[in-house]
Each structure stands twice: as C-alpha cells, then as structure tokens.
Amino acid sequence: MVLCAGKGTRMKSAQAKVLHPLLGRPMAAFPVARAREAGAQRVTCVVGHQAQAVEQALTAVFGAGTLSFALQKEQRGTGDAVNAARAALEGFSGAVLILYGDVPLLTAETVKRLVAAFPAGKGVLSLVSCKPADPTGYGRVVRQGGKVQRIVEHKDATEAEQAIGEINAGLYVADAKFLWGALAKLSPRNAQGELYLTDIVAQAAELGEVAVVDAPAQEVEGVNDRAELAARGAVLRARINERWMREGVTMVDPGSTLIEEGVSLGNDCVLDPQVSLRAGTVLGAGVRVGQGSVLSGSTVGDGTEVKPYSVLEDAVVGPRCVLGPFARLRPGTELSEGVHLGNFVETKKARIGKGSKANHLAYLGDAIIGAGTNVGAGTITCNYDGVHKHTTTLGDGVFIGSDTQLVAPVTVGDGAFVAAGSTVTKDVPANALAISRVPQVNKEGWTSRKK
Ligand code: UD1
Ligand code: CA
C-alpha cells in the first residue's frame, strides 16, 4: 500500500505533492516501483487530493490494470489513509507493506530487509528506523529497555522525546488482521487533529515485539518542500549516473548529466556535459552524445554521433549516423544506417534511407526519402497547405539542389536532379533534371550606367 492522498501543503503548489516529478516520473512512482521490486503481489495506492490526476500519472508509468487505487475522501491523517484501502484488501490476510508516497530514495534492498524482518508468529508489526543528522520534523521511536514502545510525532513530542535521535522512516509491514483492528482504535487527539498511522505501533508493542530494521539516513529522507525535492533529485541522478558509468558509459561531467529512469545505454557510449536522456531513450553501443543535447523516447543505433545541442524526440536513428550540431528530430523521424543530418536541419515524420544526407538548414516533414540521396542546403518540404499535410517522396540517388522548395504532394524519381533554387510543384521522373527558376540575365555595364 502506498499512501499518496496528501496535499503537500509545504510544496506551495497547485499540483499534488506526489505528482511533482523526479527524473521524469511522479515522485510516488518511486516507492511503488520499490514495492514491486521487493515482491509485493499487488499494490494499492491511496489517493485523495487530485485523486484522478495521481491515478492517471501512476497508470501512465506502470500500465493500466497493474495497480489498484483506493480513495481517501478527506485527508484525515496517515492512519485514515490506510483505512481507506481496507475495501481494496478485502479478503487478504497476511503481511501488508505500507509505504509513503513522498519517500523516493528508498531502495528495494531496504524494503526486502523490512519484509524479511516481519516477525510472523511472534509479533504483528515491523518498521524501519534510522538516525539522521537532524531528526527535526520526524516521528521519534520511543524505546524502553531497548524495546520499541511507541512513536511520537515531532509536534506532539516533549522536549525529552524531541532529543531522541532515532526516527520513524515511515514504512511498515503489518499483519492485516491486526492492522484493521488497530486502525479502528485510533483517535485524533493530537497536535494535528489527525488519525496517525504511527499510533498502531504502541498497540503492536502490547501484543509482541515490534521488529525494527535500520536504514541509511539518506534513503528515508522524504520530500516536503521544493528544496528537498531538488536535493532528493540530485541524489537519484547521481545514483543512476553511477550505475551507468559502472555499466560502461563514459560521462565527461556526470554532475551535469541527467538520465531519467527508463533509459537504456550500450557499452562505450560517451556523454558530454549537459546531456539529458529522458525516459524511453535507448542508445546502442558506442553512441556519442554531444554537449547540451536532449533525447527523449528515441532509439539510436550503434556508433551514431549526436553532435552538440541536438534535440531528438520520439525518433528512431540507425547505426553510424551523424546528427547535428543543432539538429532537431521530431516524432516520426526514422533514419536508416549512415544518414547525416547537419546543423539546423529539422525533421518530422520523415523516413530517410541509407547514407542519405541533408547537411545544412533544411525542413523535411512528412517525407519519404530513399538511399544515397543528397538534400541541399535550405531545402524545404512545403508539407502543409493550411488545411492538410501532404507527403514528399524522393527516390534513391536523388540530388536536390540548394534552396529548393518541394511543394507536397510531390514525388522526385530515382536518380533525378533538381536544380538549385527550384520550386518543385510537379512530379519529377527518374533521372530527369527539373529546373523551375527564372533564367539568369546579365546586363553588361549596368552598374557604371546607373552611377
Ligand atoms: C510521517 C510519519 C512520521 C515519519 C515521517 C517519515 C505519521 C503520522 N507520521 O510524517 O512518523 O517520521 O512520515 O517521512 O504517519 N497521506 C495520505 N493521507 C493523509 C495524510 C497523509 O495519504 O490523510 C500521505 C501523504 O501523501 C504522504 C504520506 O502519507 O505521502 C506521509 O504524510 P506526511 O503528512 O508527509 O507525514 P509526515 O508528517 O512526513
Ligand atoms: Ca512526509
């Protein structure tokens, strides 16, 4: 169960806290992913504030039907939130893992250790604690003779209790039957007037020993405001970058490299400073990505070089292509092997064959281009007539001279040659020369006469 219903007042945001993105995913996706990795058979997310948006965002990450959602109508505290999931867990007996949606740095290892510590038969609850440098704001673990007695929230703690360094990390495994009974006994008589989930700890301590697993302080740091959001983001980023470096990716400046979750990188990729690889990006082996480039949802074949400041969005790029600097590949771009797209070349829904080149200043939209074709500088596919989009088709081995406009729908046959400066409005047969510009006239001595 992942609690995602809170508003997150301290974010001072129109958007629910758990929706704020970290590395391209809503914050709540992190604990959900960790629960699944640790072997949770089903995951129920408790939603409330902006319930629909939270449900949509998590479904977009994990796929329809993989998670269930329970609605907490009013946010009356973490205990009330868990209770809201009761119907969703109807008929379930056994261990319930409870996580908070605002703790993104948690690792699956810690979750697994917590599950393993669940004292089946001996007790009804296990939890995670740690000793951060500054325990302010967290619930404190109160022990007596070494044994956990209860948890007291910071706002309810006495001065002596506030001096306790051991804090409640906010994840638990509880026996389902105990859990529902304990929740029924919660009361909102506390500083925040809420039903605290943490009050079940005292009840569990009366029934048996509460097992405690310790965790590195960094893992359990939550997100309560934007400064914490950025700090947790930096840790996640460093973790992902380190993992890829150990997998054989060179990063010239890992501190400025942003790789989201859901990216896959081959060996010997080289990432220059300030590269962003967003979700869905797949790079083959030996791909070099130049400084300042941003790739999302794109697949890039082995040995391709993306020169600096290029932007690729939902594009498929073959092996050994050369792109940029300043190339812009928009959705639906599909490049075969060895294609070159140079500076200030924009493509959209363009399928370009093996070894074809457009090296300077072009717009190729709704285009099908064969192999070995050369598109000259300044070529534009005029694909839009103000109402509809039309296709430009260029065959194999075509030469398009500089500053050509191809007014779609139009087809240029294999081996045809379009003279520079032409406006092509009619199909060009294979191997023909098309020329549509005004013939040049030289007027001898014209400038001296003018003076
Ligand atoms: C909670 C714990 C505290 C612990 C800390 C660790 C309680 C009472 N306190 O405090 O002991 O040290 O986490 O980070 O549990 N939520 C709901 N519905 C609600 C209220 C909250 O779904 O009615 C969700 C929030 O969306 C959030 C999570 O529960 O994801 C935790 O709530 P939050 O208010 O942040 O609890 P803390 O004050 O941080
Ligand atoms: Ca919190």
pLDDT band for 102, please (50, 70, 90 cuts).
very high
Decide if pLDDT at 121 tops 80. Answer: no
pLDDT of residue 95: 93
Q: Please, are residues 116 and 97 in contact by the beta-carbon 8 Å criterion?
A: no
Name the CATH superfamily housing domain 248-434: Hexapeptide repeat proteins (2.160.10.10)
Q: What is the arithmetic mean of pLDDT over 72-97?
A: 95
CA nearest ligand 1 atom 31, residue? 100
pLDDT band for 152, please (50, 70, 90 cuts).
very high
Amino acid at 308: P
Cα gap 397→392, rounded to integer Å: 15
Q: What is the arithmetic mean of pLDDT over 13-30?
A: 95
Ligand 2: centre distance to CA 119 (Å): 26
Element (H, E) at 214: strand 211-214
Q: Give 198-235 pLDDT, tens digit per residue.
A: 999 999 999 999 999 999 999 999 999 999 999 999 99
Cα gap 221→208, rounded to integer Å: 28
Enzyme catalytic residues:
360
- Taken in order 236, 240, 243, 248, is the CA torsion positive or negative? negative
Q: Please, are residues 6 and 102 in contact by the beta-carbon 8 Å criterion?
A: yes
Ligand 1: centre distance to CA 78 (Å): 6
pLDDT band for 302, please (50, 70, 90 cuts).
very high
**Same topology between domain 2-226 and domain 248-434:** no
Cα gap 333→330, rounded to integer Å: 6
Atom in ligand 1 nearest the alpha carbon of residue 28: 30
Token representation of residue 222: 């939550």
Cα gap 351→349, rounded to integer Å: 7
pLDDT of residue 119: 77
Counting every residue written for the chain, the total comes to 451
Q: Which residues contact 40 (CB under 8 A, 6 or more apart)?
A: 97
- H-only helix segments in 306-353: none
Amino acid at 244: W
Q: What is the arithmetic mean of pLDDT over 28-36?
A: 97
Decide if pLDDT at 120 tops 80. Answer: no
3-state secondary structure of 448: helix
Decide if pLDDT at 123 tops 90. Answer: no
Nearest one of 339, 343, 344, 342 to 370, comparing CA atoms: 339
Q: Give 384-439 pLDDT, tens digit per residue.
A: 999 999 999 999 999 999 999 999 999 999 999 999 999 999 999 999 999 999 99
Q: What is the arithmetic mean of pLDDT over 167-196?
A: 96
Cα gap 236→11, rounded to integer Å: 19
C-alpha neighbours within 13 Å on the C-beta side of residue 267: 0
Cα gap 340→327, rounded to integer Å: 10
pLDDT of residue 228: 96
3-state secondary structure 99-115: EECCCCCCCHHHHHHHH
Q: Please, are residues 123 and 210 in contact by the beta-carbon 8 Å criterion?
A: yes
What global pTM score does this model have?
Answer: 0.86
Atom in ligand 1 nearest the alpha carbon of residue 101: 30
Q: Which residue has the tokens 């064969």?
A: 370
Atom in ligand 1 nearest the alpha carbon of residue 199: 8
Percent above pLDDT 70 for the chain: 100
Cα gap 350→352, rounded to integer Å: 6
DSSP conformation class of 371:
T
Name the CATH superfamily housing domain 2-226: Spore Coat Polysaccharide Biosynthesis Protein SpsA; Chain A (3.90.550.10)
Q: Please, are residues 27 and 51 in contact by the beta-carbon 8 Å criterion?
A: no
CA dist 336 → 114, 344, 351 (Å): 49, 20, 8
User: Domain map of the chain by residue range?
Assistant: 2-226, 248-434
Q: Which ligand is nearest to the CA of 220?
A: 1
Ion ligand 2: residues, CB < 5 A: 102, 222
334-335 and 340-352: which strand pairing? Answer: parallel
* Average pLDDT of the residues of the chain: 96
pLDDT of residue 449: 95
Ligand 2: centre distance to CA 386 (Å): 52
Q: Please, are residues 277 and 295 in contact by the beta-carbon 8 Å criterion?
A: yes
Q: Which residues contact 149 (CB under 8 A, 6 or more apart)?
A: 142, 143, 202, 205
